Amino acid sequence: MRGVSTWVLVALLASPAAAVSDKDRVREAKEHFKLAEIHYQLARFQEALDLYSRAYELKPLPGFLFNIAQCHMELGHFERAIFFYESYLSTLANAEERASVDARLEEARAGLAAQQAEARQREAEAARVEREARERDQQERERTAAAEAERLRLEAEKLALARAAAEAVRTAVPPPPPPPPAFYQRWWFWAAGAFVVVLAAGVTAAALLPRERTRTELPSGELGTIDYR
């Protein structure tokens, strides 16, 4: 874990209190600084960052910029760390300390480059996964379409075969002749029936006519002779 600047507290203690309000601000900044140090030592870097930032707002000492940069480094906020290291370096005149901060700055830049490379790799991987998913979906749609086309082709083929078979049967086998009419449908049956009816009617009429009485006549002429006139 990278250390933070401890001379900030010394600067706070040495700050003259020009007015009561400024004295209160310095006192509050000291409290934030001490509490931030505890959080930093316990690896609670976000809490330490928040307290260092509030302390800097109360008393903008350059050492706070370094401590804020250190918190960003620990949190992996390399771009923010670079910003605060550079802000701190702009206030430094000590060449020896500047070399140390430059080293931290280069470390932050390397971390940012690695982070960006990792982000690009994740994006490339996500793009690859998405592309493969799209390709699988496309292949599935193509398989479905091909299966449907094959099903329709088979159905059309079956229908064509059925029609061809029906046409072959229709043209190869002549239709059976109609059955002969029944005897009661023949002309002679009805002619004979009419004749019988007429004959029966004649017989009936003859039977119903009154018969004339016959008279017995004795033969005339000589004995033993018969005149048939």
Domain CATH code at residue 61: 1.25.40.10
H or E stretch covering 13: helix 7-14
Please check whether residue 107 lies inside any domain of the structure.
yes
Whole-number pLDDT of residue 167 = 83
Whole-number pLDDT of residue 124 = 95
Please check whether residue 163 lies inside any domain of the structure.
no
Residue 129 one-letter amino acid: V
The domain of 39 spans: 7-117
Please check whether residue 64 lies inside any domain of the structure.
yes
Residue 29 one-letter amino acid: A
Angstrom distance (rounded) from CA 137 to CA 168: 46
The predicted model scores a pTM of 0.56
Whole-number pLDDT of residue 87 = 95
Beta-carbon neighbour count of residue 102 at 10 Å? 13
Please check whether residue 16 lies inside any domain of the structure.
yes
Tokens of 10: 């010394």
Tokens of 81: 């760390």
Please check whether residue 23 lies inside any domain of the structure.
yes
Angstrom distance (rounded) from CA 185 to CA 183: 5
Please check whether residue 57 lies inside any domain of the structure.
yes
What total number of domains does the chain contain? Answer: 1
pLDDT in tens, the chain (229 residues): 666 665 565 566 555 544 558 899 999 999 999 999 999 999 999 999 999 999 999 999 999 999 999 999 999 999 999 999 999 999 887 867 899 999 999 999 999 999 999 999 999 999 999 999 999 999 999 999 999 999 999 999 898 999 888 888 878 766 677 777 766 666 666 677 677 766 777 766 666 665 555 555 555 555 555 555 5
Whole-number pLDDT of residue 7 = 54
Please check whether residue 204 lies inside any domain of the structure.
no
